Amino acid sequence: MRPRSFWIVLVAGALVVAGLSWAVGMTLADALRMAGIAGGASLAVFVLGSAALFALRRRSIMTQATGVALTTIAATAAASVAAADAMFLSVHDLRMLFVILAAAGTVGLLGAIILGRRVAGASRSLAEATRRIGEGEVAMPGAPTSTAERSSPAEFAHLADELAAMSVRLQEAHRKERALEASRRELVAWVSHDLRTPLAGIRAMVEALQDGVVSDPATVASYYDTLCVEADRLAGLVDDLFELSVIQAGALNLHLVQASLSELVSDAMATASVFARAKGVRLEGRMCSEGPPLALSTLEMTRVVRNLLQNAIRHTPSDGTVWVETGVEASQAYVAVEDGCGGIPDQDLDRVFDLAFRGTAARTPSGDGGGGLGLAIVRGIVEAHRGEVSVRNEGQGCRFEVRLPMDGTAG
C-alpha cells in the first residue's frame, strides 16, 4: 500500500469510529479505547498472516487467495474476542460469538476458495492463449475461446483483449515481413538481370575496341557513346538501390525548409520536358490553387516528382499527353500526375509501389527503363514527410497523387 493510501484508510477509519460512537451513544473515549483494543489484536494477526503470505508468494493464486481469506477471518476473530473480553461479556455470550465467527469464517473461506478457483482458471486460460499466440494462432479481441475467459474478471478480460490485439499486430508484422522478403528476392533477381545485360554489352564493346575489331572513327565514337550511356544507366541503378536501402533502414535524413510545392513541381517539369520531347509526349500542367509554403526536403521531394514524371512519360505513347496538377484540399497540398498508359490491371494496382514491381510487360528493361525502384522510392520519401501516395485508373491512363500535410512538420 502506498503511504498516501495508508493515511487515507487510517483517517477514514477514524471518522467511521467517531460516527458510530455518536450513533450508538458511546463516548468518543470509549469508542477509541475499543477501536484500539480491536485494532491491536487484528494488527498482530495481520503481521503473522503477512509473513505467511510472503512465504506463499510463489504458490498458486488459489492458495494465496485462501491465505488472504484466512488472515482476514483470523484478524476479525481476534478483534472480536479482544473486544468481547474488554467488555466483560458472559461466558455464554462469548461462546455464541465463537459460533457466529466460525459460521461467518466458513462462509468467507468458501467464498475465497471459489474466487481463487475462478481467478486461477482465468490465469490458466490466459497462459493457454499466450501459448497459442506464441505458436502463431490469431486470437481476435473480444472473442473468448473458453468458459474461463468468458467469466474472468475485468482485469483478466482486458489483458486477454490486449494479448489478442498483440496477436493480430504480430500476424500483420509477419505478413509484411514475408511480403518484404519476397519483394527483396524479386528485386535481387531483377537487378541481377538489369546489371548483367548492360555489363555484357559493355564487355563486348570493350573487347571489340581492345582487339581492334572496330577501327573506323565513327564506329569507335558510337561505341564510346554507348559505353557512357550504359555506365550512366548503371550508376542510376546503383543510386536508386542506395536511396532505397537508406529509406528502408529508416535512416533518411530530411533537411526541411519552407518551400513552394508548385515551384518545385514547375522546376521538375522543366527538367523532364527534354525527356518528354525526345519521346514525343506533351507535358502539360495546371495549378488549381496556390497554398502556403510547406516544410519540405526539396532534394527528396524533387526526386519524388521527377520519378513520377519519368514513369508517366515512359508509359505514355508518342503523341500522348502527361498532365501535372497541383493544388490544396482541406489541410493537404497535393500534386497529381496523369498519364496515357492505358490503365493498370486491377490486380496490380495494390502492388504498384511495391519494391521492384514493374508489371508483367516490363520485365525486360528498355533503354529508358528503370529498375522498378522509382515508385518504391516515391512512397518511402512521401511517407517520411508524413504524406501519402496513391494511384487509380482514370480516363485513358492512371493518376498518381501525392498528398502532404500542411501543418509544417514531417516525421
Q: Which of 100, 134, 168 is the last residue of a domain?
A: 134
| Residue 189 domain-assigned (yes or no) | no
CATH number at residue 368: 3.30.565.10
pLDDT value at residue 117:
67
Q: Which of 100, 115, 134 is the last residue of a domain?
A: 134
Domain range enclosing 305: 253-405
| Residue 228 domain-assigned (yes or no) | no
pLDDT value at residue 365:
42
pLDDT value at residue 72:
75
SS (H, E, C) 338-350: ECCCCCCCHHHHC
Q: Which of 77, 106, 134 is the last residue of a domain?
A: 134
| Residue 161 domain-assigned (yes or no) | no
Record the cell numbers describing residue 44, joined without a space: 498482530
| Residue 240 domain-assigned (yes or no) | no
pLDDT value at residue 338:
93
User: What is the C-alpha separation between 329 and 288, in angstroms, rounded?
Assistant: 10
| Residue 59 domain-assigned (yes or no) | yes
Among 106, 114, 84, residue whose Cα is nearest residue 97: 84
pLDDT tens sequence across 151-187: 556 666 667 777 777 777 777 787 878 877 776 777 6
User: What is the C-alpha separation between 276 and 363, in angstroms, rounded?
Assistant: 22
| Residue 204 domain-assigned (yes or no) | no
Residues 259 and 401 in one domain: yes
pLDDT value at residue 77:
73
| Residue 215 domain-assigned (yes or no) | no
pLDDT value at residue 240:
82
221: exposed, middle or buried (Cβ count in 10 Å: 0-12, 13-18, 19+): exposed
- pLDDT tens-digit profile, the chain (411 residues): 456 665 676 666 666 656 655 665 666 676 666 667 666 777 777 777 778 777 877 777 667 777 777 777 777 777 677 766 666 556 666 565 556 556 655 665 666 666 666 666 667 676 776 766 666 665 555 555 444 445 556 666 667 777 777 777 777 787 878 877 776 777 677 777 777 877 888 888 898 888 888 888 888 899 899 899 888 888 888 888 888 888 877 778 888 899 999 899 999 999 999 989 999 999 999 888 877 889 999 999 999 999 999 999 999 999 899 999 999 988 889 999 999 888 888 888 888 887 766 664 443 344 444 556 888 889 999 999 999 999 999 888 999 999 999 875 455
Contact 190, 356 (CB under 8 A): yes
pLDDT value at residue 362:
42
Domain count of the fold of the chain: 2
| Residue 323 domain-assigned (yes or no) | yes
User: What is the C-alpha separation between 167 and 170, in angstroms, rounded?
Assistant: 5
User: What is the C-alpha separation between 34 and 26, in angstroms, rounded?
Assistant: 11
Give the global pTM.
0.56
